[in-house]
Structure 1
Amino acid sequence: MTPHFHSRHLAVVGGLGRLAGADLYSKLVKALALRGDTDRYRLTLEQHGYQRPCGHHAEPAAMDGRELYLYDTLDALAHADGVLLPCFMSHTCIDALQAEVRVPIVNVMGALARHIDDVGRPRRLGILCTRYVREQRLFERYFPDHALAYVSNDTHEHVVASAVYGERGLMAGHTDGAIDKLQRACAELLRQGAEVIIPGASEIAAVAHLLAQRGLPVVDTHQVYVDFALAHPEPHPARAFKLGIVGGIGPAATVDFMQKIVRHTAAERDQDHIRLIVDHNPQIPDRTANLVANGTDPTLALYSACKRLEANGASAVAMPCNTAHAYVERIQAGLATPIVNMLTETVRHIAAHCRGHDTVGLLATSGTIASRVYHDAARGSPFDVIVPDDAHQAEVTDAIYGSRGVKAGYTEGRCKGSLLAALAHLARRGASVVILGCTELPLVLPEHPAFDVAGKTVVLLDPTAILARRCVALAGVTNARAAGRPANGAAAMP
């Protein structure tokens, strides 16, 4: 037997109203059978029930935690190609939901708007919906050019709400009496001049065919929704940029990097800043100890952090640790999300902003120097990279790892003196640009365009700041594209 391969996965959230969910799902199955597409689709009916605080026999007056239920349900359906949501109340917050979940939500209101256009754009639409949907002006948002008719408050309370939520109503599984009541409501809408009646509650949508059988011009909302979903596959929504940060390598450098992201973001309000997700794990094995002393290999821990960030929707990953970049090549091979390479960005920065400087000094951990990752990144560049001699490298190591070093929380005194001594050593050897190639070092010596040391002037470069500026630029381009605006600048993803 030849196996069938499903090309599209559609899911129906049925827990908000089991009868309505079952009706929509049934119509979806039948539509696929009629199209001969059954084998091309995988279908899921998610019937995890929503516990309504107001009970089943009262009309909901607010969302009452519905958004949280929907988030959990949609997150569980993240691998579907589209989700149908037969609940008009939920569509009042569809934009907020879509911003937080990865699965595309098929918009029932978009389906209805297209349907109404296709049937000749009737001038007046009658709407049968809950009080909450009416108060949220959901139909006004999608039908701004149409006159809308609603039943009176008295009819809504004693006829429509009773037909849906009453003890002998649709939610309780009864139809005969409920259909009679809904027919009375439809008659009132017709007297107001409604040419088409749209069920704006999923329970009413489930019995639209019964109302149509009585000669009423009622749209079968669920059928329209199904036909739209099959004819117009929802693209995965353009996502706002989310930066994943592998944190804890080291802890202070992680906080410093986040501060630089904020500092370099042009923002007038909180919402203008970049969304960050940080996996802060100081227990990741020491990178230098592995590279120079056969310590525990941190590759798996770094890879695991990157995979968690990727699973949480990171658009790109930043690792504010120079030494950790010795492992980037093997980690990146297993990721779909790009790691923004701090070392590559630093070399690009030197090429663009430090032209004419032919000797670049590197202050870094012994692990970074032993791995030669900066030398590899600078291969082919018009400058040479020099590192301290053994004695001055010992000064750098003490400034970073010593008992009064920066990893121990110090930024003045002995650690600064040791770092200045190594910097002066590089300057005397001809370095006119010096890379602060350990993310803790800028906590002691910030970047500077003209730093005087040993009677010479050098450019101090902070790779963490360069990485932060690059991530901000990437976010600007990605967010502009997501909003459908032209992107300023060419910040291609690495």
Structure 2
Amino acid sequence: MTSAMSASSRKYGVVGGLGPLASADVFFKLVKAMPVSADAGHADVIFQQHPFPGASTASAATTERKLYIFDMIRDFEKRGVTTVVLPCFLSHTYIDELKANTNLQIVDMVDAVLGYVRRKFPGLTRIGVLASDYTREKRLFERYFSPCELEVLHPRLQEGVDRVTHAVYGPEGIKSGNLRGLPVDLLRRACVDLVQQGAQVIVPGMTEIALVAEQIGELGVPLVDSNLAYAQHVVSGQYDAPAEVFKLGVVGGVGPAATVDFLDKIVRNTPARRDQDHVKLLVEQNPQIPDRTENLIGGGADPTVSLYATCKRLEEGGADIIAIPCNTAHAFVERIQPYLRVPIVNMLTETVRYVREHYPAQRKIGVLATSGTMASGVYEKALEAQGLQQIAPEPALQSRVMQAIYGKQGVKAGFTAGACQDDIAAAVEGLIDEGVEVIVLGCTELPLLLPHAEFVGSGGARVTLIDPTDVLARRCIAYALAAREKR
């Protein structure tokens, strides 16, 4: 999809420092390329560079170089930049790594040069490239040009010397500030060699070469100004918008074990053949969110602000949807959703919809949940909206449900066997006695005590157990797969 933003609505961030002089040249040409009649009409441009000693010592794409660029892009994100200008051909050998880890648009420099030469020189078949040793080794230009049936030529070594790399990175090279003499002579000889090989156009594959292009002199074939081509391409806006990777935000820690269970269900239910096919997750594990049940039935601290703050951090982190694997927390969802741009996938309404669709003959639905969830009436309202009736345990059995969850030997204390299982089994038996055939496990810890889809009572009666955590996980996966298909 081609970006629809106008140049004036973009905020550009220019990554400087990898070649300070060359980066400044691109910055100047970028500003000059903007079609405006007054200073106020220019787009917002940030030119930023920090000391980066490794930029002048070698042409290798070091880890330091990659992380330098990534940190700068991260800073651009915080400053509202929409479009990243990366004036360094070498860095484009790993542009896909950078694109995969930012939502900002990184304008491709090699693609810009390719588009320029194809427009300006129709019928071109052989193109000479003045590239560094590392860029040649990675076959950067071949990756772009060869599919367009453009043969890429590189200068031949002269007595084992790579003239182009030496002209830029050598001790008397352009990166050391030398814009006359030996660097120019080396580049001119490299250009002459390309012409002898049959190059019809010569393209600088190093941004520093533009600084001495005029001194190279006439060659008999055009020498493209790659920096200018890139600047004009950036301003044109005629490039693809960044691919958006769907991200699921998870409010974790409510409780911690239930969060791990939810994440496990996301992974197990995702159709994937490799790691990269799984859903991208952003988890805010915040066990310090005040207890939801204590607030609803005991006057404990209000968790609204903590839940909202956690959701906002997920929103700011680029989440497309938010999941809260805690049934009781959904008593607070209506309070915070109006203030979020990102939708919270409602586990309760999704669960009730699942029950209605898969068990259409059932009207009486048992619910096992915390007393806070029961007191809030969230499940009762959701069931009634679908024409269903909630059946809750009698008070004595509800007390045992709370013991199974919050007791000293309950699931929140890390127990999954013993007294907690006896307590929850008694509550299930009580609902079976009420004639219930489907029970919703309305607390995310309960599937840890009742991991199977069916429970057989002491009298032989069978009841189906619905795990809202699993329903929520599958629904979130469906959103992710739909987004992937659309992309």
User: TM over 0.5: same fold?
Assistant: yes
Separation (CA, whole Å) in 1 of partners of 2:18 and 2:303: 46
1:251 aligns with 2:252: no
Q: Match for 1:24 among 23, 26, 35?
A: 26
Q: Match for 1:45 among 44, 47, 60?
A: 47
Tell me if the contact between 1:361 and 1:433 (Cα under 8 Å) persists in the aligned partners: yes
Query: CA shift at 1:451, angstroms?
Result: 4.2
Matched pairs, number: 475
**1:349-364 paired onto structure 2 within 5 Å:** 349-364=354-369
Counterpart residue number, 2:3: none
Read off the aligned partner of 1:63 and give its amino acid letter. Answer: T
Q: Match for 1:192 among 197, 210, 213?
A: 197
The structure-2 alpha-carbon separation of the partners of 1:38 and 1:19, relative to structure 1 and needing over 3 Å to count, comes to farther
The structure-2 alpha-carbon separation of the partners of 1:469 and 1:447, relative to structure 1 and needing over 3 Å to count, comes to farther
**SS of the counterpart of 2:424?**
helix
**SS of the counterpart of 1:268?**
coil
Separation (CA, whole Å) in 2 of partners of 1:215 and 1:310: 57
1:103 aligns with 2:108: no
Tell me if the contact between 1:315 and 1:337 (Cα under 8 Å) persists in the aligned partners: yes
The structure-2 alpha-carbon separation of the partners of 1:401 and 1:450, relative to structure 1 and needing over 3 Å to count, comes to closer
Counterpart residue number, 2:4: none
Q: Match for 2:269 among 259, 264, 269?
A: 264
**1:326-365 paired onto structure 2 within 5 Å:** 326-365=331-370
Tell me if the contact between 1:316 and 1:338 (Cα under 8 Å) persists in the aligned partners: yes
**SS of the counterpart of 2:332?**
helix
State which drifts further: 236-245 or 287-296: 236-245
Counterpart residue number, 1:306: 311
**1:25-424 paired onto structure 2 within 5 Å:** 25-32=27-34, 39-52=41-54, 56=56, 58-78=57-77, 79-119=80-120, 120-144=122-146, 145-154=149-158, 157=161, 159-177=163-181, 178-211=183-216, 217-232=222-237, 234=239, 236-424=241-429
Q: In percent, how many aligned pairs have the same letter? A: 47
**SS of the counterpart of 1:65?**
helix
State which drifts further: 75-84 or 149-158: 149-158
Separation (CA, whole Å) in 2 of partners of 1:192 and 1:174: 28
> What are the superposed Cα offsets for residues 250-282 of structure 1, whole Å, 9 maximum, x if unpaired?
111111111111111222332322222221121
Read off the aligned partner of 1:77 and give its amino acid letter. Answer: F
Query: CA shift at 1:373, angstroms?
Result: 1.3
Separation (CA, whole Å) in 2 of partners of 1:192 and 1:305: 62
Could you list the runs of 5+ residues in structure 1 that have no partner in the other structure? 483-494
| CA RMSD of superposed structures (Å) | 2.1
Read off the aligned partner of 1:322 and give its amino acid letter. Answer: N
Tell me if the contact between 2:179 and 2:211 (Cα under 8 Å) persists in the aligned partners: no
Q: Match for 1:7 among 9, 15, 23?
A: 9
**SS of the counterpart of 2:344?**
coil
State which drifts further: 235-244 or 137-146: 235-244
State which drifts further: 232-241 or 372-381: 232-241
TM-score by length of 2: 0.92
Query: CA shift at 1:453, angstroms?
Result: 5.5
Tell me if the contact between 2:180 and 2:212 (Cα under 8 Å) persists in the aligned partners: no
> What are the superposed Cα offsets for residues 180-202 of structure 1, whole Å, 9 maximum, x if unpaired?
33122111111111010000011
Read off the aligned partner of 1:69 and give its amino acid letter. Answer: Y
Query: CA shift at 1:375, angstroms?
Result: 2.1
1:437 aligns with 2:447: no
Query: CA shift at 1:139, angstroms?
Result: 0.4
Query: CA shift at 1:51, angstroms?
Result: 2.9
Counterpart residue number, 1:491: none
Separation (CA, whole Å) in 1 of partners of 2:282 and 2:36: 46
Could you list the runs of 5+ residues in structure 2 that have no partner in the other structure? 1-6
Separation (CA, whole Å) in 2 of partners of 1:393 and 1:38: 68
Tell me if the contact between 1:25 and 1:45 (Cα under 8 Å) persists in the aligned partners: yes
Separation (CA, whole Å) in 1 of partners of 2:189 and 2:438: 83
State which drifts further: 30-39 or 471-480: 30-39
Tell me if the contact between 1:59 and 1:130 (Cα under 8 Å) persists in the aligned partners: no
Separation (CA, whole Å) in 2 of partners of 1:156 and 1:204: 21
State which drifts further: 247-256 or 329-338: 329-338
Read off the aligned partner of 1:74 and give its amino acid letter. Answer: I
Separation (CA, whole Å) in 2 of partners of 1:174 and 1:240: 44
The structure-2 alpha-carbon separation of the partners of 1:34 and 1:324, relative to structure 1 and needing over 3 Å to count, comes to closer
Q: Match for 2:486 among 473, 481, 485?
A: 481
State which drifts further: 22-31 or 335-344: 335-344
Separation (CA, whole Å) in 1 of partners of 2:415 and 2:198: 78
**SS of the counterpart of 1:239?**
coil
Query: CA shift at 1:38, angstroms?
Result: 5.3
The structure-2 alpha-carbon separation of the partners of 1:62 and 1:227, relative to structure 1 and needing over 3 Å to count, comes to closer
Separation (CA, whole Å) in 2 of partners of 1:36 and 1:191: 46
The structure-2 alpha-carbon separation of the partners of 1:158 and 1:402, relative to structure 1 and needing over 3 Å to count, comes to closer
TM-score by length of 1: 0.91
Separation (CA, whole Å) in 1 of partners of 2:382 and 2:473: 18
Query: CA shift at 1:413, angstroms?
Result: 1.8
Read off the aligned partner of 1:159 and give its amino acid letter. Answer: R
Counterpart residue number, 1:490: none
Query: CA shift at 1:297, angstroms?
Result: 0.9
Tell me if the contact between 2:404 and 2:419 (Cα under 8 Å) persists in the aligned partners: yes
State which drifts further: 25-34 or 280-289: 25-34
The structure-2 alpha-carbon separation of the partners of 1:233 and 1:307, relative to structure 1 and needing over 3 Å to count, comes to farther
Read off the aligned partner of 2:278 and give its amino acid letter. Answer: H
Separation (CA, whole Å) in 2 of partners of 1:181 and 1:166: 11
State which drifts further: 32-41 or 173-182: 32-41
